[in-house]
Structure 1
């Protein structure tokens, strides 16, 4: 029987780009030998590291308010720092301003998985990237097949369940042409998960 593992704070980036066929998001495929979600297509992201707490970054006022509902100011800053770092490491893309990261979703990995994360999802627009959004030459090797894909096209990929939920939330917000009025939280600390609004 698998012993449950600690839940680590994590940050995920939903990079959004306008296109002729509609909005697109950046996704890549995890290695098939990866311990966590092998072979799945995911957004860039990963666990918060100790060094992410080393410096404080500027946050959007609304993002800070939403993160602070259940996170200290130090953790809020570290989460955005981790999001920017993971984006750089996994795609080679650089964010112009940390204020552009918008907190839109939170999810905790269910029990029984080899790794568990308390992941906060940040929406960032491609226009806020400092370098060429099609140049992944500086990316490390954690994700392969990095590509911009329409929201509809992404659904054809082998996706984790939570990624499908997040895509639906993004699409709903875009349809209303406004940010969501609350942050959905897929709280799966226990065996039976529940979705509630953070704020």
Structure 2
């Protein structure tokens, strides 16, 4: 695989206590030896896998979010991005965005999806809102076309403080008060997204025009989808 090729990715912003005086967001720290954004604090997320769209069986995102996710999708789909968001949240935090369902075996899917279904859950993307898109600048060791999807801790099936089923991909998983998050070691784009989240409080409605931060070899610019 060409490591400099732009891969589709999904990032999940989970907000807790959005209507309280001190809302918080779920973040973790990438490893110091990670090839992409080492030691940075980030939201859960990662690249879209081939079976992420296949795994979605319960419900769909709001039509406006699906339409915007489909804009210039370049080979992916709204279902694939939503599925990746739910899978990555499960892998990296051990938390499930879904609904209760009989445990089922899905041998045709990845191990992560198999464990998700075996836990008695079905993925439920209707709780996700599409709020931001960014493409990694040229010259980085990895490049992603990342869609940032927003949800709330109330939509989780699990105790939001229970990270016992998380992988070791992110360390220091915790709920960071939104007012304190920018003091962490953050990627630039994460700082920008935190500003968008703060501006959407307390209702956290998806924006009418999703901000899109894009790069090519000569220009970086914001657009609206």
TM-score for both structures, normalised by structure 1: 0.91
1:196 aligned onto 2:184: no
Equivalent residue for 2:152? 125
Equivalent residue for 1:13? 12
State how far apart, in whole Å, the 1-side matches of 2:186 and 2:44 are. 13
State how far apart, in whole Å, the 2-side matches of 1:52 and 1:178 are. 25
CA deviation after TM superposition for structure 1 residue 191, in Å: 3.7
8 A Cα contact 1:4 1:113, kept in partner: no
Equivalent residue for 1:38? 38
Cα deviation, 1:64-121, whole Å, max 9, x if unaligned, reads: 1221222279611000000000000000000022111100000000000000000000
Equivalent residue for 2:50? 50
Aligned match for 1:142, one of 169, 179, 182:
169
Q: Any residues of structure 2 matched to 1:46-85 within 5 Å, and which?
A: 46-57=46-57, 58-71=60-73, 75-85=77-87
Aligned match for 1:100, one of 123, 127, 130:
127
CA deviation after TM superposition for structure 1 residue 189, in Å: 3.2
TM-score for both structures, normalised by structure 2: 0.81
Tell me: CA distance 1:191–1:38, structure 2 relative to 1, closer, same or farther (3 Å): farther
CA deviation after TM superposition for structure 1 residue 183, in Å: 0.1
Higher mean alpha-carbon deviation, 85-94 vs 189-198, is at: 189-198
**Matched pairs, number:** 196
State how far apart, in whole Å, the 2-side matches of 1:55 and 1:95 are. 13
Aligned match for 1:86, one of 80, 85, 88:
88
8 A Cα contact 1:27 1:42, kept in partner: yes
